[in-house]
């Protein structure tokens, strides 16, 4: 297949590519080394700048902030999934009085910048909600609207014959959706759902603008302290924490996708589906 899109490189071309790769790698290493040397020379990454992260009090504060951040992300993701499922079903409804409001709500919250949405909720309802719940509600509305589109696209991606087969054996539309379409759509939607969960986790950092509690707020308190005054190292530590967590979520998505793909190859008896009689056939594939 590689020869279809471009000519396969010959020995001379391969040799040039190896030279270009080596030169590019050395150039990038030189730039990185120069940047690190400048940071060291200006005392931005010297050992004293990292001393704060060896103190139990600072480590405990970061751990507490991380728990708060993960809690906000978890609550927002759960609410967003429920929100997305409800409005995805509304968008797929045959009744215009349900479908049109659902489309309007989903498109509105997808179009509004998340930072402005969080700020508006805090300014309008901050005294009632507080900064934590203002952040959670903003994340729920935005990510729930995106998930609604993911769910709708996943359902529509299932071959039409699957729903027709369900109707043929006497299932109602709600049964076709929950027993036939949704289980098959989940396998295709799962990577996008996990990706949106990663986005929600990263976007918890936007709570910084409204003073929401979390690891970013703790980081701010560390780097503005006259005792430490180390914004660069705080930023590096916070970035590393988010990268590790998001990488873990990405690996989880890959594992779940491969597991569900293996399960999808199994044969499931139609008789196991409520409403399906013996006349529908002995078995069918997922």
Q: Name which of 205, 282, 230 is nearest 47 in CA terms.
A: 230
Domains of the chain: 55-263 (1.10.3720.10)
* Alpha carbon distance 197, 215 (integer Å): 18
pTM recorded for the entire structure? 0.78
Torsion of CA 81, 84, 86, 88, to 10 degrees: -140
* Angle CA 84–199–136, to nearest 5: 65
Q: For residue 195, give every residue at least 6 positions away whose Cβ sits within 8 Å of its Cβ, in sequence order, or none.
A: 253
Tens of pLDDT, residue by residue, the chain (286 residues) = 455 566 777 888 889 999 999 999 999 999 999 999 998 888 888 888 888 888 898 899 999 999 999 999 999 999 999 999 999 989 988 888 999 999 999 999 999 999 999 999 999 988 888 899 999 999 999 999 999 999 998 888 888 888 888 888 888 877 888 788 888 888 778 888 888 888 999 999 999 899 899 999 998 888 887 777 778 888 899 999 999 998 888 888 778 777 777 766 654 444 444 555 444 444 444 4
C-alpha count within 13 angstroms, C-beta hemisphere, residue 211: 5
């Amino acid at each position: 297949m590689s020869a279809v899109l471009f000519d396969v490189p010959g020995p001379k071309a391969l040799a040039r590519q190896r030279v270009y790769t080596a030169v590019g790698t050395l150039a990038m290493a030189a730039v990185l080394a120069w940047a690190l040397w400048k940071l060291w020379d200006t005392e931005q990454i010297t050992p004293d700048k990292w001393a704060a992260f060896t103190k139990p009090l600072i480590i405990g504060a970061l751990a507490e902030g991380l728990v708060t951040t993960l809690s906000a992300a978890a609550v927002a993701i759960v609410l967003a999934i429920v929100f997305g499922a409800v409005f995805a079903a509304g968008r797929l409804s045959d009744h215009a009085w349900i479908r049109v409001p659902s489309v309007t709500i989903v498109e509105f919250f997808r179009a509004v910048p998340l930072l402005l949405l969080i700020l508006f909720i805090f300014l309008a309802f901050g005294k009632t909600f507080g900064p934590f719940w203002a952040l959670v509600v903003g994340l729920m509305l935005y990510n729930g609207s995106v998930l609604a589109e993911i769910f709708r696209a996943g359902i529509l991606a299932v071959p039409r014959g699957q729903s027709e087969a369900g109707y043929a054996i006497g299932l109602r539309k709600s049964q076709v959706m929950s027993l036939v379409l949704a289980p098959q759509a989940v396998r295709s939607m799962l990577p996008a759902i996990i990706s949106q969960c990663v986005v929600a986790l990263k976007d918890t950092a936007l709570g910084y603008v409204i003073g929401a509690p979390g690891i970013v707020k703790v980081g701010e308190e560390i780097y503005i302290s006259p005792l430490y005054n180390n914004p660069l190292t705080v930023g590096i530590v916070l970035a590393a924490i988010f990268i590790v967590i998001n990488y873990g979520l990405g690996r989880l998505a890959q594992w779940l996708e491969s597991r569900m793909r293996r399960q999808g190859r199994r044969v499931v008896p139609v008789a196991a589906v409520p409403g399906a009689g013996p006349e529908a056939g002995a078995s069918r594939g997922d």
